[in-house]
């Protein structure tokens, strides 16, 4: 069995295999193709897999992204959905796919791993000094739900993000509007100088981004936690949002996940959660 870069006819079976590992086995609903609709279309990402009798049994995706690092732009690839189907595990197939992808995909690579050992053996470097997560608990007050994120809002949000994030990954409209797992819909609170992107479900909020001038976060936060008793946070521990939350009693805990290959340390930063696969 060898590693192949998949063409369009293999993509439906490839998505089904990924869904079996990352959706069904984790008690989720839907499909990764709904979360990232452009990812598995021709030209969206490079998909690598080991096939057995024509069906993918191990694989990954490598998604090209345009990165802005201060005054420079470059193309990098995010690696994600590294999987091996259960009956085939323990045979080194994931390592083979990773090695093949690293050889065939040019330029800097980044992925996020809860078990970095495999990647370190293949030359990937752990670097995530600011990755953090936390939880807010309290009573968020009552009121009407915040507006749902709409395409008409994106130019204003992108302008705020560009001012606040000199290092960032370019986002298309589809990237902005993609709905994360666990989010019935994406909600937004915004003023001209800052915005919050979040979801709410069953009395819990999930904060995806709090971006812009911190002087305006006090106006946004009540919308994030409205009708909620807790909020989950994934953020850069050195960001304005993390500093603002610490001042209000929320202590983010280290959550280092990033692994890098051929990406110069001077050009690295903690990529926003919504930009990851």
Q: What is the pLDDT of residues 120-155, one digit of tens each?
A: 999 999 998 889 999 999 998 888 889 999 999 999
The sign of the torsion formed by the CA atoms of 25, 28, 30, 34 equals negative
d(CA 240, CA 236): 9
Sorted by sequence, the CB contacts under 8 Å of residue 242 that are 6+ apart come out as 132, 235, 236, 252
Sorted by sequence, the CB contacts under 8 Å of residue 79 that are 6+ apart come out as 60, 61, 62, 63, 98, 101, 109, 110, 111
Q: What is the pLDDT of residues 163-178, one digit of tens each?
A: 999 999 999 998 998 8
Confidence of residue 184 (pLDDT cuts 50, 70, 90): confident
Domains for the chain: give ranges and CATH numbers: 3-129+257-275 (3.40.630.30), 133-254 (3.40.630.30)
């Amino acid at each position: 069995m060898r590693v192949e870069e998949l063409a369009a006819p293999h993509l439906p079976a490839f998505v089904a295999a990924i869904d079996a590992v990352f959706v069904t086995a984790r008690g989720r609903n839907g499909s990764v193709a709904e979360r990232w609709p452009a990812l598995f279309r021709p030209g969206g990402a490079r998909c690598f897999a080991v096939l057995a009798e024509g069906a993918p049994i191990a694989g990954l995706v490598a998604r090209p992204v345009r990165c802005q690092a201060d005054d420079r732009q470059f193309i990098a690839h995010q690696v994600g959905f590294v999987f091996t189907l259960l009956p085939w595990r323990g045979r080194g197939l994931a390592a083979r796919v990773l090695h093949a992808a690293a050889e065939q995909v040019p330029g800097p690579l980044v992925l996020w791993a809860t078990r970095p050992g495999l990647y370190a053996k293949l030359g990937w470097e752990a670097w995530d000094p600011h990755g953090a997560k936390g939880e807010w608990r309290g009573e968020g007050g009552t009121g009407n739900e915040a507006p749902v994120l709409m395409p008409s809002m994106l130019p204003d949000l992108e302008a705020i993000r560009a001012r606040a994030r000199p290092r960032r990954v370019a986002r298309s409209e589809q990237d902005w509007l993609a709905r994360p797992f666990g989010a019935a819909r994406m909600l937004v609170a915004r003023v001209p100088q800052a915005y919050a992107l979040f979801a709410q479900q069953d009395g819990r909020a999930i904060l995806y981004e709090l971006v812009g001038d911190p002087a305006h976060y006090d106006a946004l936060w009540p919308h994030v936690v409205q009708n909620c008793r807790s909020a989950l946070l994934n953020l850069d521990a050195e960001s304005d949002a993390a500093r603002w939350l610490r001042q209000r009693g929320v202590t983010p805990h280290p959550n280092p996940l990033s692994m890098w290959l051929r990406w110069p340390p001077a050009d690295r930063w903690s990529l926003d959660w919504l930009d990851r696969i």
